[in-house]
Amino acid sequence: MALKIVKGSIDRMFDKNLQDLVRGIRNHKEDEAKYISTCIDEIKQELKQDNIAVKANAVCKLTYLQMLGYDVSWAAFNIVEVMSSSKFTYKRIGYLAASQCFHEGTDVIMLTTNQIRKDLSSPNQYDTGVALTGLSCFVTPDLARDLANDIMTLMSHTKPYIRKKAVLIMYKVFLKYPESLRPAFPRLKEKLEDPDPGVQSAAVNVICELARRNPKNYLSLAPLFFKLMTSSTNNWVLIKIIKLFGALTPLEPRLGKKLIEPLTNLIHSTSAMSLLYECVNTVIAVLISLSSGMPNHSASIQLCVQKLRILIEDSDQNLKYLGLLAMSKILKTHPKSVQSHKDLILQCLDDKDESIRLRALDLLYGMVSKKNLMEIVKKLMLHVDKAEGTTYRDELLTKIIDICSQSNYQYITNFEWYISILVELTRLEGTRHGHLIASQMLDVAIRVKAIRAFAVAQMAMLLDNAHLLTGNMQRNGICEVLYAAAWICGEFSEHLEDPNQTLEAMLRPKVATLPGHIQAVYVQNAAKLFATVLRKHEGATDSQAAQETSQLLVERLPLFVQSANLEVQERASCILQLVKYIQKLQQKDVEVAEEVSALFAGELNPVAPKAQKKVPVPEGLDLDAWINEPPSESESEDEKPKAVFAKEETKHSRPRHTEVDEKELARRREARKQEQANNPFYIKSSPSSQKVYQDAPGVEHIPVVQIDLSVPLKVPGMPMSDQYLKLEEERRQKEKAEKKKKEKKKKREKHGKGKKHDSGPESEEDITPAHHVDIVTEEMPENALPSDDDDKDPNDPHKALDIDLDKPLADTEKLPVRTHRSEPLKSPGEDGDVESVPQEPKKRSSKEKKEKKKDKDKDRKKSKEEKKKKKKHKHDAEDEPAELPAEEPVKSEETNEVATPPTSTSAEASDLDFWLSSTPVAPTAKEVAAPAPAPAPAPETSLAAAPDSEADEPKDAEPEEVKCSKHKKKKQKKEKEKEEKKEKKKKRHHHHHHHSDGGEDSVQNGTMEEEEPLPPMSNYCLLAENSYIKMVYDIQGNLQDGSQVVVSVIFENKSDSFLKSMEFNVLDSLNSKLQRPEGAGPHDGLVVPFQLPPGVSNEARFIFSVQSIVMPQKLKGTLTFIVKSEDSSTHEKLDFKLHFTCTSYLITTPCYSDAYAKLLESGDLKSSSLRLEGVNMPFHHLLARICFHHHFSVVERIDSCASMYSRSIQGHHVCLLVKTADQTVSIDAKCDEPSLLGNVLDEIKQTFSQC
Amino acid sequence: MIKAILIFNNHGKPRLSKFYEHYSEDTEQQIIRETFHLVSKRDENVCNFLEGGMLIDGSDNKLIYRHYATLYFVFCVDSSESELGILDLIQVFVETLDKCFENVCELDLIFHVDKVHNILAEMVMGGMVLETNMNEIITQVDAQNKMEKSETFIFQSPRQDR
């Protein structure tokens, strides 16, 4: 053996290692690829050798080559080999390689399951760590399912290093195997309060990541996070939590109110910019969620804006960028606060940093108003001219259009100006956004009827100067504009001053070089123009001119008939024949104009982009059904080419619909308006345009104001938008003066009539549009479906994680646990022989694998369905997949959780309600409510759940957070028990089967469930009782603070009266003190934070600080309260004694057998023992009782012998060895504090003497 | 979530690439090239954020980078990460490298990319930030190196390389 190793190392001397490889590559700069290919050949040779060191070296080199882009998946199996080396060095190399190149498609991954499991349970924490790190990169659904339980156990590992990694990787496991989320969640939640800050941070990280995608499921954690936020000092954790709150507040505005104060404090106090920034962000989110009717938050807004201004003014570009980013969020709801910083933002447009300029542009979008739109756009136009680089210029262009067209052209007061801007934009060279400009032109020309004449004039000019636009044709997107120009000129040709000239321009030979779809529009619209020309000339009885026009068409059209583009060719030849025919008629002096224009008659209505989608499918119509038998494949492939513009189809389908009579139309409009008004999602058109639509049905009715301009509208050459700015100024001035005059006379009347179009808020009210423009609303189908369904990505992995976490776990939701232990638990001494995996199970598992795989998919699908229905659904025993646990190594808390009947989610929600509604009181009082959602079931729920006095025994015993369903119907309980029995029967069956396989019954960490069901248990014992009220209590150690215990008291109102003003007080001893709010005296009572209607019970928590925990304590106390019946109210009091047992200082802490063995060997522990006679209960009941009542956990159990562990809040270890034989139980115990141990044993004895 | 961590030099040569989502080798190289292209053309005194990392899908993602001497450290993250936090993290990463390699330079990264990976693994795991405390990171890295050394002593020829 030794010789072999030496030989191996000598061989290695001649191998290249990673450094040699890198050096070699650097020395072969010219023929790198060739050099690497020889290296890969060498690596292949090395991988064939037996020596693991050589293999590992080869794999290490492959990892490097992978980074350079070489596919190394061929070596996947060798990587697995290196991963399974027993030496950490090689293992790490293997896992690194795997994490770099394994993915879901790697087939050898399924071979790694057992290896990873072995590494996860390795006694060496770094083996475990490396495995976790690797797994986090290549976890697959199969791996996640098979290893979920192992990783979950690691979440309670003794080493924080492992705990934090295990917690983090759970997120990946959830993603790949969503079924694991619910079973694992309680423990994950527990880790939020882990003593180690790293673990805590990891847990926060995971929950934030989960909550970001499905925030509503995590609302109930808000109190816990709130506590963390106010107590944590770790900026990373704070940032995460604050970000999380940002996601939660939109769902729960009350949360926001609670947050504002601590967040503002943080903003004022923190010096970390990152934290400050996130705080501001979340405050913004809060303010957005509160935006309705919370006027008194203007201070917070001001604070945010002010802080952001500081960021933006900072010389650090990063802060500037982020400041702008956050500013844009405020803008959405509080545009006014931002608008006052317009100067700053405009300044940022000149920044040398493009990212910052783009951010500033985004901000401008929201800052425009009717007042400043022209000015801002002018500034942007200047930037367009200056901008270098087409990307930024294109961005500017789209932004200008966005800004102007936003909310249905709300801010445009002068559409002539806008058209001029669009025309100016066409001068941009090399822009990709020609189609954008074009569609704007079309949209404006169609929808703003008053502007058509002007638009047509401008478009005619564009057509005339087309050669300017089409300079370098092919990659020039701007020629799209001609499409719009031609169409507008054709469609609204009645407005053309000189249709002849335009017609001529449209038929120039150069047009033939335009893209096909534009040529087609040219040809079609030439025909429209022709019709107009004919009509014009016929009126003037000038047949000569009309004939000339026909002649022109006949001469020019053949050019298009020869076009390669089918559409152009078809239209051209059609129209050519038509014109020839008309020419014949003209020669016979027949009047044709009427007929020709009839071809293109009819008003055109704009159609909303989503209109088609919104037509509801009539009942009984199945669009997917075949009308006839499906045709053969070959026929079905003649799809039409995609339309370039949404409007294109309007051209084909000219409105030929018969005129519906006016009344009917009005009725429909009214109905639609009604529907839109009631529909909160309908935002398509602003109220102003609605009004206009109704009032002005036709073009004739639009009062087109004559503009008495000194400058003629038709500007020779290209128009200049700038002039409008000046004009606008003048006009406004004039208007203002005029208005003042008028206001003196008739104030109200004028306002109501003349300015129906004005919808702008306050300050904008005094700006009227230059002329009353008519924005036609887009058509929608009569009974359009209102839903604006956002198409969510169906492939989003987070969709599967939208799981209700407050619902109690169902039995079917266990994580799959191996049925066979492939490896007995090892004590730390025997870490040498890793290869000693039992043969039998290995074979089995591989056999099973195929079966499993089949079941897997089926099963996963099934459980997903289950969740969808949100129903508790039980599988038959046969249905249960093979991997479902026969024995379930679960901790006692889990067993109990399973036994919990469905907690109504409404109760959970009411916890949150309670937390949210409680006005912030003194800090301690807050804390009383904070540690976990203090259960405060809404009166309705508890009332419904029949307050049976017996039902007060909570089965639930989760130590950390007591579920609020303490009160349930007896019947329900019985049912539940029945169910459980059934379940157990099934399990027994399984168990039997399992024993025949000869598996060993060692349970790592938890009680075993077998034969009989556990009787219901409760730790709550009676505190005091009188005719009005009953108090039961339970004491738990506080994980966070070694000197504190939490006393949970359930108050139950037994009377028919209302109980209020409850005050809870105890006489402190030297050793134990009730935690009172700051400022309260040592004898003051604590107000119980709720009132009790008749028959209702509720729980409150009180925190006590203790010094010494080795002795049990008793504290005397009093509860005072007011009983309020219909006619009277009396003051009552009830004395009680709080008994702090030593058990209550113990905390259930899991322990691994190796750590346990080490602890026992250490010799620091004093021992003691106890014998119990005549105990005739099953051993597992006995263990469960000790676990439950005395907060122990089972470390290991073999037959009728078990080792157990617990830890006190002050860190004392308590170890028990429990043996049973013939109704005699002997307990040998060890602890580092003998008197504590003595007392605990006494208490255990007492527990068993009671039953 | 961190989607990817890339280190490349002023010429775009990759020095470390860690993708927390799977891409084929070709795509990875393309991403590296494209990212280099984006980052390298930016001036020194502009902000360290870049939106929409071209290939690394959706608009939710951001590139956050720092430039140290000859090396670019680029993190691609989604919106759940704090921008300034990530910048701090990069700083911690570089300082940690500096401690572990004693005055780190590009050559260290070139020849010991595996060690860089190991250090990174103690900071970021599966795309989530694991540890931000430099001392804790160094402790864990050192402990693992010690283990490695004790193993190497027996199993490997004592051979020192640059």
C-beta separation of A97 from A63 below 8 A? yes
Give yes or no for B94 touching A (CB within 8 A). no
Tens-place pLDDT, residues A425-439: 887 776 778 888 888
Rounded to the nearest integer, the mean pLDDT of chain A is: 73
- Determine the residue among B130, B146, B149 to mutate to test chain A binding: the one whose Cβ has the most chain A Cβ atoms within 10 Å: B130
Q: Which two tokens stand for residue A661?
A: 């009579």
Bigger pLDDT: A771 vs A1080:
A1080
Give the Cα separation of A321 and A313 in Å (integer).
10
On the question of pLDDT at A382 being above 50, the answer is yes
Q: Do A104 and B132 touch (CB under 8 A)?
A: no
Bigger pLDDT: A942 vs A1238:
A1238
Say which range, A482-496, A702-716, A1169-1183, has the weakest mean pLDDT.
A702-716
Element (H, E) at A1166: strand A1166-1172
Parallel, antiparallel or unpaired: strands A1201-1208 and A1213-1221: antiparallel
Give yes or no for B132 touching A (CB within 8 A). yes
Element (H, E) at A1060: strand A1058-1066
Local confidence band at A754 (pLDDT 50, 70, 90 cut-offs): very low
Residue B162: inside a domain, yes or no? Answer: no
Q: Do A209 and B130 touch (CB under 8 A)?
A: no
On the question of pLDDT at A359 being above 80, the answer is yes
The number of angstroms, rounded, from the C-alpha of A500 to the middle of its chain's C-alpha atoms is 60
Give yes or no for B12 touching A (CB within 8 A). no
Question: From the DSSP assignment, how many helices (H) and strands (E) are in chain A?
Answer: 48, 15
A638: left (phi over 0), alpha (psi -120 to 50) or beta: beta
Local confidence band at A649 (pLDDT 50, 70, 90 cut-offs): very low
Bigger pLDDT: B83 vs A1164:
B83
Q: For residue A818, count other CB atoms closer than 10 A to its CB.
A: 19
Candidates A29, A89, A96; CA nearest to A67 is A96
Give yes or no for B55 touching A (CB within 8 A). no
Give the Cα separation of A1039 and A1191 in Å (integer).
13
Domain count, chain B: 1
Count of pairs with CB atoms under 8 A, one residue in A, one in B: 161
Which 3 state secondary structure label does DSSP give A882?
Answer: coil
Give yes or no for B88 touching A (CB within 8 A). yes
Residue B161: inside a domain, yes or no? Answer: no
Give the Cα separation of A614 and A788 in Å (integer).
9
Q: Do A67 and B82 touch (CB under 8 A)?
A: no
pLDDT score for A779: 62
Tens-place pLDDT, residues B66-106: 999 899 999 998 888 899 999 999 999 999 999 999 888 99
Tokens 């307990």 correspond to what residue?
A1227
Question: Exposed, middle or buried by CB within 10 Å (0-12, 13-18, 19+), for A1026?
Answer: middle
Tokens 């638009």 correspond to what residue?
A455
Q: Do B125 and A133 touch (CB under 8 A)?
A: yes
> CA–CA distance from A266 to each of A233, A323, A597, A718 (Å)?
11, 17, 73, 57
Q: Which two tokens stand for residue A1013?
A: 């069901």
Give A89's contacts in chain B (Cβ within 8 Å): 147-148, 151-152, 155
C-beta separation of A399 from A379 below 8 A? no
Give the Cα separation of B145 and A86 in Å (integer).
16
A1016 phi and psi, to 5 degrees?
-60, 140
Give the Cα separation of A714 and A464 in Å (integer).
14
C-beta separation of A1133 from A1157 below 8 A? no
Give yes or no for B25 touching A (CB within 8 A). yes
Bigger pLDDT: A636 vs A1200:
A1200
DSSP character string of A4-47: HHHHHHHHHHTS--HHHHHHHHHHTSTTHHHHHHHHHHHHHHHH
Give the Cα separation of A928 and A934 in Å (integer).
8
pLDDT score for A871: 43
On the question of pLDDT at A92 being above 90, the answer is yes
User: Nearest-CA residue of chain A relative to B22?
Assistant: A103
Q: Do B118 and A67 touch (CB under 8 A)?
A: no
Tens-place pLDDT, residues A1005-1039: 443 444 455 566 677 888 888 888 888 888 887 76
Give A137's contacts in chain B (Cβ within 8 Å): 20, 126
Candidates A1055, A1047, A1048; CA nearest to A1025 is A1055
Q: For residue A244, count other CB atoms closer than 10 A to its CB.
A: 25
Local confidence band at A1105 (pLDDT 50, 70, 90 cut-offs): confident
Q: Span A382-388, mean pLDDT?
A: 79
Q: Do A67 and B17 touch (CB under 8 A)?
A: yes
Q: Who's near A430: CB < 8 A, 6+ residues apart?
A: A390, A475, A476, A477
- Determine the residue among B8, B82, B119 to mutate to test chain A binding: the one whose Cβ has the most chain A Cβ atoms within 10 Å: B82
Question: Exposed, middle or buried by CB within 10 Å (0-12, 13-18, 19+), for A906?
Answer: middle
Element (H, E) at A1072: strand A1072-1074
On the question of pLDDT at B110 being above 60, the answer is yes
Q: Span A623-645, mean pLDDT?
A: 59
Of A12, A171, A239, the CB nearest to B82: A239
pLDDT score for A823: 43
- Check the CA dihedral A513-A514-A519-A525 and report its sign: negative
C-beta separation of A519 from A563 below 8 A? yes
On the question of pLDDT at A830 being above 70, the answer is no
Percent of chain A scoring above 90 in pLDDT:
11
Residue B25: inside a domain, yes or no? Answer: yes
Give the Cα separation of A219 and A244 in Å (integer).
10
Give the Cα separation of A88 and B151 in Å (integer).
8
Candidates A478, A575, A564; CA nearest to A522 is A575
DSSP letter for A140, please: -
pLDDT score for A577: 92
Question: From the DSSP assignment, how many helices (H) and strands (E) are in chain B?
Answer: 5, 7
Q: Do A355 and B47 touch (CB under 8 A)?
A: yes
- Determine the residue among B18, B84, B109, B153 to mutate to test chain A binding: the one whose Cβ has the most chain A Cβ atoms within 10 Å: B84
Q: What amino acid is encoded at A184 in this protein?
A: A
User: Nearest-CA residue of chain B relative to A796?
Assistant: B58
Tens-place pLDDT, residues A219-248: 888 888 888 888 888 888 899 899 888 888
On the question of pLDDT at A288 being above 90, the answer is no
Give yes or no for B38 touching A (CB within 8 A). no
Which 3 state secondary structure label does DSSP give A826?
Answer: coil
Local confidence band at A715 (pLDDT 50, 70, 90 cut-offs): very low
Q: Do A317 and B125 touch (CB under 8 A)?
A: no
What b-and-e string marks burial along A48-79, b requiring 16 or more CB atoms within 10 Å of the CB?
eeebbbbbbbbbbbbbbbbbbbbebbebbebb
C-beta separation of A784 from A615 below 8 A? yes
Local confidence band at A151 (pLDDT 50, 70, 90 cut-offs): very high
On the question of pLDDT at A539 being above 60, the answer is yes
Q: Who's near A613: CB < 8 A, 6+ residues apart?
A: none
Candidates A1205, A1228, A1202; CA nearest to A1003 is A1202
On the question of pLDDT at B30 being above 80, the answer is yes
On the question of pLDDT at A932 being above 50, the answer is no
Give the Cα separation of A193 and A196 in Å (integer).
8
Local confidence band at A329 (pLDDT 50, 70, 90 cut-offs): confident
A789 phi and psi, to 5 degrees?
-65, 120
Parallel, antiparallel or unpaired: strands B71-77 and B2-9: antiparallel
Q: Span A1082-1101, mean pLDDT?
A: 80
User: Nearest-CA residue of chain B relative to A93?
Assistant: B114
Residue A806, CB-side half-sphere exposure with 13 Å CA sphere: 21
Q: Do B161 and A20 touch (CB under 8 A)?
A: yes
User: Nearest-CA residue of chain A relative to B160?
Assistant: A19
On the question of pLDDT at A514 being above 60, the answer is yes
Query: In this structure, what CATH number is given to the domain that contains residue B15?
Result: 3.30.450.60
pLDDT score for A637: 44
Tell me the residue range of the domain where B26 lies. 2-156
pLDDT score for A91: 93
Whole-prediction pTM: 0.56
- Check the CA dihedral A994-A1000-A1004-A1008 and report its sign: positive
Q: Do A168 and B159 touch (CB under 8 A)?
A: no
Give B133's contacts in chain A (Cβ within 8 Å): 198
Name the minimum distance, in Å, from the CA of A461 to any CA of chain B. Answer: 40
Q: Do A322 and B155 touch (CB under 8 A)?
A: no
On the question of pLDDT at A693 being above 70, the answer is no
Bigger pLDDT: A1019 vs A753:
A1019
Question: Exposed, middle or buried by CB within 10 Å (0-12, 13-18, 19+), for B54?
Answer: middle
> CA–CA distance from A367 to each of A357, A363, A445, A1239 (Å)?
15, 7, 26, 72
Q: Who's near A1128: CB < 8 A, 6+ residues apart?
A: none
Give yes or no for B69 touching A (CB within 8 A). no
DSSP letter for A88, please: H
On the question of pLDDT at A532 being above 80, the answer is yes
Give the Cα separation of A1037 and A959 in Å (integer).
9
- Please state the ipTM of this predicted complex: 0.94
A630 phi and psi, to 5 degrees?
-55, 135
Name the minimum distance, in Å, from the CA of B46 to any CA of chain A. Answer: 5
Parallel, antiparallel or unpaired: strands A1086-1087 and A1058-1066: antiparallel
Give the Cα separation of A654 and A487 in Å (integer).
13
The number of angstroms, rounded, from the C-alpha of A123 to the middle of its chain's C-alpha atoms is 38
Give A66's contacts in chain B (Cβ within 8 Å): 25
Q: Do A103 and B22 touch (CB under 8 A)?
A: yes
Question: Exposed, middle or buried by CB within 10 Å (0-12, 13-18, 19+), for A90?
Answer: buried
Name the minimum distance, in Å, from the CA of A49 to any CA of chain B. Answer: 16
pLDDT score for A867: 46
Of B28, B111, B155, the CB nearest to A69: B28
Give the Cα separation of A101 and A56 in Å (integer).
15
> CA–CA distance from A196 to each of A10, A49, A51, A216 (Å)?
46, 45, 41, 28
Which 3 state secondary structure label does DSSP give A431?
Answer: coil
- Determine the residue among A204, A270, A282, A355 to mutate to test chain B binding: the one whose Cβ has the most chain B Cβ atoms within 10 Å: A355
Residue A583, CB-side half-sphere exposure with 13 Å CA sphere: 15
Give A248's contacts in chain B (Cβ within 8 Å): none
Say which range, A384-393, A811-820, B132-141, has the weakest mean pLDDT.
A811-820
Say which range, A33-47, A139-153, A768-782, A952-966, has the weakest mean pLDDT.
A952-966
Of A63, A277, A352, the CB nearest to B114: A63
pLDDT score for A603: 73
On the question of pLDDT at A110 being above 70, the answer is yes
